[in-house]
Structure 1
Amino acid sequence: MTITSLPSTTATPAGPAAGPGPRAPGSWTPGSWRALPAAQQPDWPDTEALQRVENALALQPPLVLPDEIMGLRGALAGVAAGRGFLLQAGDCAERFTSCTEAGVRSKLRVILQVAVLLTYGSGLPVVKVGRIAGQFGKPRSSPTEVADGLELPTYRGDIVNAPEFTAEARRPDPDRMLRAYHHSSAALNVLRALTLGGYADLGQAHGWNQEFVRRSAAGRRYERAADDVGWALRFMSACGVDTRAQAALHQIQLYTSHEALLPHYEQALTRYDEHRRTWFDTSAHMLWIGDRTRRPDGAHVELLSGVGNPVGVKVGPGTTPAGLRELCERLDPAREPGRLVLITRLGVGRAAELLPSLLHAVRSTGHNPVWACDPMHGNTFVSESGYKTRRLGDITAEIGEFFAVHREEGTHPGGIHLELTGDDVTECLGGDLEEIVDRHLGTRYETACDPRLNAVQSIELAFGVADLLRAQYSA
């Protein structure tokens, strides 16, 4: 396997039929997005510094490899065929300061707990994709914000600027893209050590439960499930199965993903694989396009249309059936299994109304994407105390609507997309242990951008989704 990288100032070879589907030679290059409008971009004050950083990134080793990316493509093809379930979960906006062993372990721990509950409850293999090791950028509803009469650029994530409300902190700094690369690399090193080195062993399921979680009703129910998993492993051993030789019981494959918000960064990490004769974005295994950047004639769609990674698209309430058909055609013209993940973020009460026509539109074109539900972003509001928050009840209800529509349409509800943390934060309302209400939000409100489910809420939600999956396939 040979992977070619070129500085962004160098003309990139068109190569043969680059990308996931048939293309006219030369119709796409890693830099062809530059001729198109790019939404949600910082106002970089120093274009020479930006170019220098792009060139430096283009010479760095890839963060992930094409073989890993294609492994995820294969796993997602199974999900699209109804033979698995996608769990995409992690931080809203990662901070550079969270890329420590403890920080990565905390996120992985709750992802493992949710994944084992989904597998245990549904009997389906769970494809695990983290919003981790690269989710440093965030789209914003306004380019600036005002406080005490001072107007400054909005905080766009650590990859762009800093959250402190000063002119210096909010100045977009392209050197932060290099820092994001190195922090992503460090986080990936920890993830690989943990997932392959025994931490993800199913026999450790009890050890993933933290004390503050164990005190909750959801945590106690999790303990009982972990007991059942332990007994199942003992049963297999008693039947003569050498569980020690079963790698799948002792280690997992956790794939990485982030929103491909900054095309300068993504292009710099795009590499040509000579063996597959295809370009890959090696910044993560899977990239997604947000609801604010998904215009079919825009820069983000153009860039990701030519790489071989799985590509997700956030589908908000403003998405029309015709617009979604066009996006599917732009991003997956060859209708390849495992290529496309459509992530609906419609809001509670809207999924039942809007999802059927979107399902019909995509099905009529012959595309077979993974359909996943993001129940977080359509249910965000500002509470009376002034905190941006979400209700666990609304999140759960939207997932229920998502499953109900798929059951009625005879299609596979392929996954969920969550913003969560393993920490004991108070950012979302609801939960079964000392239910978080509005007056509690300020106690441990630690997110850099949007509110996340804490570990207890995540486990409670996982039990509910497992019940929905069981009902979906036992009827």
Structure 2
Amino acid sequence: MTELPVAHPIASPQPGAAEYPGLDAWRDLPVVQQPTWADSEVHRAAVSELSSLPPLVFAGEVDLLRQRLADAAEGKAFLLQGGDCAETFEGATADKISARVRTILQMAVVLTYGASLPVIKMGRMAGQFAKPRSSNDETREGVTLPAYRGDMVNGYEFTPESRAHNANRMVQAYHTSASTLNLIRAFTQGGFADLRLVHHWNKGFTANPAHSRYESLAREIDRAVKFMDACGADFDALKRVEFFASHEALVLDYERALTRIDSRTGLPYGTSGHFLWIGERTRQLDGAHVDFLSRVRNPIGVKLGPTSSADDALRLIDKLDPQREPGRLTFITRMGAGNIREKLPALVEKVTASGAKVLWVSDPMHGNTVTSPNGYKTRNFDDVIDEVRGFFEVHHALGTFPGGLHVEMTGDDVAECLGGADPIDQHAFLERYESVCDPRLNHMQSLEMAFLVAGALGKRP
């Protein structure tokens, strides 16, 4: 993998940081995709403050998620992970958060019916404030400034002041994540998550003539909901749901500062989110990200692109999941529609033969990014769906379980990905393209994906 020049963070742990053998070994290893903080005193103060703040998530919640993911690894559940490419502080409003949660819940209802399995609901939310970049800098009209690395690091506005790396933004990311989690917990534990209400929202989707081909599945779900109502079903699972938060563990200063030692077990947990993943650009076996995340108890994901080999996968298992613990390790494949059927089988075959119980999840977004004729970064909906279809085909052929979806999406009516049954064309980008990083499926495209995947799940062997 081609990497940016190494940027070394501060070389010693901060006062008040959780102490546990090996947690700071990453500081002596090659580390990539890290900010270059402009002011060391501001950096020290920010990390010290983060080290003293309450955890964003709790060890018991993390352990519960690991159990749920173990079920998925055994083919007894399905993971739906969705949300923004890069969250922004400005976008952390009640309306936008509720729209994202609502879309994930709507997708989950359809997938639950199609799979006849529980669906684990997880947002790329409450922490997805940092992004890896292919270049350190960005040049516009002869002016070169640092690239935008997400609101945790710098601002999107193309000015020297905005693009400077500011460690205080890590503290702002913490507080924005805390308020986001607050809202998520309120939404998912109250009437907002009631299955009957969520299904009612989906009726609006199928009422659109462009989506009429999904009406028969929607009618089947409707009959099932009415049957439960007629039976007087009113159990808790109808009214509230478990919802977990995840993000790419990219900025290691932030992740280390929010690591806590669980008083029950004496083990370290990353309390910035329930599920943390390592990106395609940071999965070096001898690198800082893999080492650090190998030492926390959270369920861990790793992105695997088309250059990943079966040997890479096996070595990652040895490093991140030496005990072969179901629910511990998720491989998130991002091959591209043109590669998935050719590249994935060897990985799945060798990992399965090794006896490891990893969860296989498809990220059909990142391998299918193109530039539209009018210059916007975009993805074609048909390519996204074809990669999901190829992911299912490979697993069905090998007798293994296609365990989940990892999708960049929003609950808003944006225009960023081309196509869909109610198609978005490039001209819509001029008025409705809002992403500060990668293009996302909009609300309707996300639901269409859920109906298409539900059909594939219903046909699994």
| TM-score of the two chains, using structure 1 as the length reference | 0.91
Task: Say whether the 8 Å CA contact 1:110–1:208 is kept in structure 2.
Answer: no
Q: Which residue of the other structure, out of 454, 459, 464, is the alignment partner of 2:452?
A: 464
Q: Which residue of 1 aligns with 2:253?
A: 264
Distance across 2 between alignment mates of 1:415 and 1:92: 18
Aligned twin of 1:159: 152
1:337 match: secondary structure: coil
Structure 1 residue aligned with 2:348, among 347, 353, 359?
Answer: 359
Alignment-derived partner of residue 196 in structure 1: 189
- The whole-number CA distance in structure 2 between the counterparts of 1:158 and 1:130 is 18
Preserved CA contact (<8 Å) 1:217 1:432: no
Deviates more, 1:200-209 or 1:67-76: 200-209
Cα distance in structure 1, aligned partners of 2:345 and 2:200: 42
Q: Which residue of 1 aligns with 2:127?
A: 134
- Aligned residue among 4, 9, 15 for 1:9: 15
Q: What residue number does 2:393 align with?
A: 404
Contact 2:414 2:442 in 1 (8 A): yes
Amino acid aligned to 2:343: L
Contact 2:35 2:153 in 1 (8 A): yes
Aligned to 2:429: 441
Q: Is the 8 A contact 1:216 1:456 kept in 2?
A: no
Q: Assess if the C-alpha contact under 8 Å between 2:359 and 2:403 holds in 1.
A: yes
Which residue matches 2:224?
232
Residue 387 of structure 1 is aligned with which of 376, 380, 400? Answer: 376
> AA paired with 1:54?
V
Alignment map for 1:278-427 (pairs within 5 Å): 278-427=267-416
Is 1:94 paired with 2:87?
A: yes
Q: CA deviation at 1:127?
A: 0.6
Assess, with a 3 A threshold, how the Cα gap between structure 1 residues 300 and 352 changes in structure 2: closer, same or farther. Answer: same
Q: Is the 8 A contact 1:121 1:470 kept in 2?
A: yes
**2:348 maps to amino acid:** L
Report deviation, 1:207. Answer: 5.0
C-alpha displacement of 1:205? 2.0
User: What is the percent sequence identity of the aligned residues?
Assistant: 49
1:125 and 1:313 mapped to 2: Cα distance? 23
What secondary structure is seen at the aligned counterpart in 2 of 1:128?
strand
Q: 1:216 aligned to 2:205? A: no
Secondary structure at the counterpart of residue 58 of structure 1: helix
TM-score by structure 2 length? 0.94
Distance 1:67 1:414 in 2: 23
- Aligned amino acid, residue 341 of structure 1: T
Equivalence for 2:55: 62
What amino acid does structure 2 have at the position aligned with 1:118?
L
Counterparts in 2 of 1:32 and 1:106: CA distance versus 1, 3 Å: same
Question: How many pairs were matched up?
Answer: 450
- Structure 2 residue corresponding to 1:243, chosen from 223, 233, 250: 233
Secondary structure of the 1:96 match is coil
Q: Measure, in 1, the Cα distance between the counterparts of 2:399 and 2:222.
A: 35
CA drift of 1:260 comes to 0.2
SS state at 2:105 partner? helix
Structure 2 residue runs of 5 or longer lacking an equivalent are 1-11
Question: Which letter does structure 1 place at the counterpart of 2:435?
Answer: T
The CA RMSD measured in Å over matched residues stands at 1.9
| Counterpart residue identity of residue 359, structure 1 | V
How far 1:440 moved relative to its partner? 2.3
Deviation at 1:362, TM superposition (A): 1.5
CA contact (8 A) 2:82 2:408 kept: yes
Residue identity matched to 1:235? F
Asked whether 1:453 is paired with 2:441, we answer yes
Whether the aligned pair in 1 keeps the contact of 2:66 and 2:327 (CA below 8 Å) is yes
Tell me the equivalent position of 1:23. none
Q: 1:21 corresponds to which residue? A: none
Q: CA deviation at 1:210?
A: 9.5
Separation of aligned partners in 1, 2:116 and 2:330: 22
**Structure 2 counterpart SS, 1:75:** helix
For residues 73 and 345 of structure 2, what CA distance do their matches in structure 1 show? 17
Alignment partners' CA distance in 1, 2:132 and 2:341: 27
**In terms of mean alpha carbon deviation, does 121-130 or 340-349 score higher?**
121-130
Please tell me whether the aligned partners of residues 421 and 452 of structure 1 are also in contact (alpha carbons under 8 angstroms). yes
Mapped contact 1:205–1:226 kept (Cα < 8 A):
no
Q: Secondary structure at the match of 1:465?
A: helix
Secondary structure of 2:281 counterpart: coil
1:237 Cα deviation after fit: 4.3
Q: Quote how far apart the aligned CAs of 1:8 are.
A: 2.3
Q: What pairs with 1:22-101 in structure 2 (closer than 5 Å)?
A: 26=21, 28-29=22-23, 31-101=24-94
